[in-house]
Chain A
């Protein structure tokens, strides 16, 4: 095994309350493209952060051996010095600096602090040639497309004399030809002896270029597949990614489903900044009374954008389409109107979009429905206290009192506050976006119980989730979303993780 470039042995990383990585092992050989696959939250990004030194030595257990030496990185620059470079999903380029300036940012070709621009330009020209980008080094980053920006990131990595390149979802925002070019480039690098770790949801790409595939699930290594020994099918990879049992993670529920309560027709949304990018593409769906409907899909498939655009056009531009409630078209052009029409949206990002963290539980719960506790715009505080105390007891928000600031609550209790806020607004349609993200198992169960009660009360519930087991365990009917379109619909009884994943992957393959 002397041709090992990197070995990560027994890596365990815990966050408060959660074991993100549990005894993970990863071996990458010289001149190899190693794919790292797994569901959202399986621990891929955490593992790469451990490797690149974002989580410094000492914050995890286990060892990292690179080129035969044990490494203890304290920060990113320490790992970069050895030639380990990570390119994140969100590109880390400065938009109003030029290509050359970005490439050498942080390690400028300078003597005594004075930059030698001629040398920098010449060097970046050579690097751009290597990555096959024909742009002047003086072009501003903001003037080139995402695909080319990705190449600049790689050129930046090459400038650091990279030996191991880590790419986190590099093709997620690229079109087919750009993705193809990028994969070609990785193969070229392999010829030159540079190894890559490729994190990707696009399994067709993975099976095309990878030499080895490591599958992570729930923070543990499941298996490492050698692509040279056997041909690995996508089904084989998916089986590794999702195989787990679902017993007792969801409260039992008896569904009583009525007629259609909520319907969205021909819904189209464009990106707020890039006017030509269609984020939601002609989406049609409906939810019945008492029904829980799931929308499955990968991150970036347009689910949140769909939900937020319905919720008072809170996202997107040039929105078109119709929304019906009980058969009548309703106006959702502002958030106030959407709320008045009985829609509630529980955000996926409760800290930034859900809570006023510096305020107490009471003020957060009443915020979306202040007129209900006010008499001619004057707050009735006894009433407010009575109501918010009621929610605190009903939902089991563990806190010292309703005056406790929400910033000091645990994730699960914060989520219950957000839920309380929307329950108090008394909606008919609830859209729950990743309702259990970052919440421990016990609190998840409590939240599921609340959701079940809501459905029982005859509300229409929509759950957006990246966790397929959650969708399967909670929902009556499932829509699958990919690249802004609904690509499949199935009753939960017929659905399986494999089926949903296939639904997504098939569409990826069929893309021109």
Chain B
């Protein structure tokens, strides 16, 4: 006990007075480990593809290619934190895409109504699966395996084996378009850093700046709170360096986007969703309860947490996000196809685990999930550009998943 107290004292002192960069990295190795890995992967492929990876066109591509996986991984995180799994989301996404095609392409329903209907269908599918898991105590693996078959089958039934498309532009633009509009001409200014032809999309930069300001503001408030309770905080210079780095990364990212076609529309869906789920997982009663449920269901239940209802809601939420993901994917292809969404569940699950979630529930962050999805996305993209064949890409991605989780497990055992 006394040793425990001593280390406590010393770490407190370190937090207040001599928080070195080394200490900072050591204490946050788990949180930032994957971020470091992501940077390494990006740099490697930047070098390997002779700079193609970070070109504006390609960055935009990476975002468009992975947006729907990130959306679904957000829901998957909650499901996995609650101690379950969802194998059906690929099929659900395909089914929702088919419904969208049936409504908008075949029957010319208005886009808004169709989107609302698709989200409702996603929620209903989630409720259906959640019912069996939460109230009938069928293992989620089995329920969603059944769902995977059922909704793949229904997709085929609905589409009759052929594809439906093209979609109304206002729908497909959600996943294909940019805030600069269809012609990608309006709202640009000349790029002071580039040549005569170089243009920058102004609104993209403004949005980026506002976003960075919000993040810095929140970090300052959080630090103030920690100080008020005598928790170790990083030293002021380090704090400034950290925030400067965050701002720099956001602005660099926006600059790259602005110098191509500007902010893709899909980011206007994705970023708010990510922020919303960070908020839900960290700051709300329901988020806290989901973590407690996954950490120890029996203890949570005996503490008055409505565990069954909560499990049910995580699946409803997953259904909604699978529907949104399905619509984004369908819009991007501009057609609803029977094979859509094949393997999405595995990509989403991989993103969640690479992001540091525990397979036994109770642990995992939205931040980690986004990083995990980006790791997979950059690997896909980088290897494709570098000319690695699809078969070997699979091998590499599998190996990365295994190594990432091993790294996480072993660092937890040491802690």
Contacts and interface: CB of A to CB of B under 8 A. Distances in A.
Contact of B300 (A312, A356, A381, A398): A356
A379 B295 CA distance: 19
Given A363-B288, A379-B283, A400-B11, A355 B229 contact: no
- Nearest 5 CB-CB pairs, A to B? A400-B8, A356-B295, A368-B303, A339-B304, A356-B296
B152 interface: no
Interface in A24-41: none
Nearest to A398: B1
A386 interface: yes
A227 interface: no
Interface residues of A, number: 40
Interface stretch (A94-102, A181-189, A346-354, A453-461): A346-354
B295 A353 contact: no
Given A335-B301, A363-B288, 7 more contacts: A338-B304, A352-B296, A357-B296, A359-B291, A367-B289, A367-B292, A377-B286
25 contacts: A335-B303, A339-B304, A345-B302, A352-B298, A354-B302, A355-B296, A356-B295, A356-B299, A356-B362, A357-B296, A359-B292, A367-B289, A370-B288, A377-B285, A377-B286, A378-B283, A379-B285, A379-B288, A385-B225, A386-B229, A400-B7, A400-B8, A400-B11, A401-B8, A425-B304
Q: Which of A345, A347, A356, A366 has the most CB of B within 10 A?
A: A356
Interface of A: 311-312, 314, 335-336, 338-339, 345, 347, 352-359, 363, 366-368, 370-371, 374, 377-379, 381-382, 385-386, 389, 398-401, 403, 410, 421, 425
B284 A367 contact: no
B83 to A, nearest CB: 12
A379 B362 contact: no
Contacts of A378: 283-285
A382 B228 CA distance: 8
Contacts of B7: 400
Most buried by A among B225, B288, B358: B288
A374 B285 contact: yes
Contact of B303 (A367, A385, A400, A401): A367
Contacts of B305: 367
A410 B358 CA distance: 24
Interface of B: 1, 4-5, 7-8, 11, 225, 228-229, 231, 283-286, 288-289, 291-292, 295-296, 298-306, 358, 362-363
Contacts of B1: 398, 410
Given A356-B299, A357-B296, A336 B5 contact: no
Contacts of A358: 295-296, 358, 362-363
A382 B298 CA distance: 28
A425 B304 CA distance: 10
Contact of A359 (B8, B283, B295): B295
Contacts of B306: 336
B285 A371 contact: yes
A370 to B, nearest CB: 5
Given A314-B302, A336-B306, A356 B292 contact: yes
Contacts of A377: 284-286
A353 B229 contact: no
A283 B133 CA distance: 36
Contacts of B229: 382, 385-386, 389
Contacts of B289: 367, 370
Contacts of A354: 299, 302
Contacts of B285: 370-371, 374, 377-379
Contact of B304 (A335, A347, A386, A399): A335
A343 to B, nearest CB: 10
B37 to A, nearest CB: 23
Nearest to A337: B304
A374 B284 CA distance: 8
Nearest to A346: B302
Given A368-B303, A379-B288, A382-B229, A398 B295 contact: no
Contact of A347 (B284, B302, B358): B302
Contacts of A356: 291-292, 295-296, 299-300, 362
Given A356-B362, A381-B225, A382-B225, A336 B304 contact: yes
A403 B231 contact: yes
B182 to A, nearest CB: 39
Given A347-B302, A377-B284, A382-B228, A400 B4 contact: yes
A374 B11 CA distance: 30
A363 B296 CA distance: 12
B409 to A, nearest CB: 13
Contacts of B4: 398-400
A352 B301 CA distance: 11
Contacts of B284: 374, 377-379
Contacts of B5: 398, 400
A359 B286 contact: no
Contacts of B11: 400
A309 B54 CA distance: 62
A403 B303 CA distance: 19
Contacts of B299: 352-356, 367
A287 B337 CA distance: 68
A336 B363 CA distance: 25
A382 B231 CA distance: 12
A339 B305 CA distance: 11
Contacts of B300: 356, 367
Nearest to A335: B304
B49 to A, nearest CB: 40
A400 B4 CA distance: 7
Nearest to A379: B283
Nearest to B231: A401
A141 B331 CA distance: 58
A368 B363 contact: no
A355 B283 CA distance: 21
Given A401-B231, A403-B231, A335 B302 contact: yes
